[in-house]
Homo-oligomer: A and B are copies of this chain.
Amino acid sequence: MTLQNILVVGGGTLGSQIAYQAAFHGKNVTLYDISDEALTQAASRLARLSPSYQEDLQASPAKTEATESAIRLTSDLSAAATDVDLVIESIPEIPTIKVDFYSKLAPLLPKEALIATNSSTMLPSRLADSTGRPDKFLAMHFANMIWIRNTVEIMGHARTNPAATAEIEEFTREIGMIPIVLNKEQPGYILNSLLVPFLDAAFKLWGTDVADAYTIDRVWMLATGAPRGPFAVIDVVGLRTAYEIFSQQPGDVAKAVAQKIKARTDQGYLGLETGRGFYTYPNPAYMQAGFLTALGDEKEQSTVTV
Give residues in A with beta carbon < 8 Å to B.
143, 149-151, 153, 178-184, 186, 190-191, 193-198, 200-202, 204-205, 208-211, 215-216, 218-220, 222-228, 230, 233, 292-294
CB of B180 within 8 A of CB of A194, answer no
Name the contact of A190 in the complex, choosing from B149, B150, B197, B215 (C-beta under 8 A): B215
Contacts A143-B223, A226-B226, A293-B178 given; does A193 touch B186 at CB 8 Å: no
Extra 18 A-B pairs, beta carbons < 8 Å, given A183-B210, A194-B202, A197-B201 = A143-B223, A149-B223, A178-B292, A178-B294, A180-B211, A180-B218, A180-B219, A180-B222, A184-B208, A186-B210, A190-B205, A190-B211, A193-B201, A194-B205, A197-B198, A198-B201, A224-B227, A224-B233
Chain B residues lying within 8 Å of A216, measured Cβ to Cβ, are 190, 194
Contact A193 B215 (CB under 8 A): no
Complex formed: what's the CA distance from A196 to B2 in Å?
43
Contact A191 B178 (CB under 8 A): no
Question: CB distance A225 to B226 under 8 Å?
Answer: yes
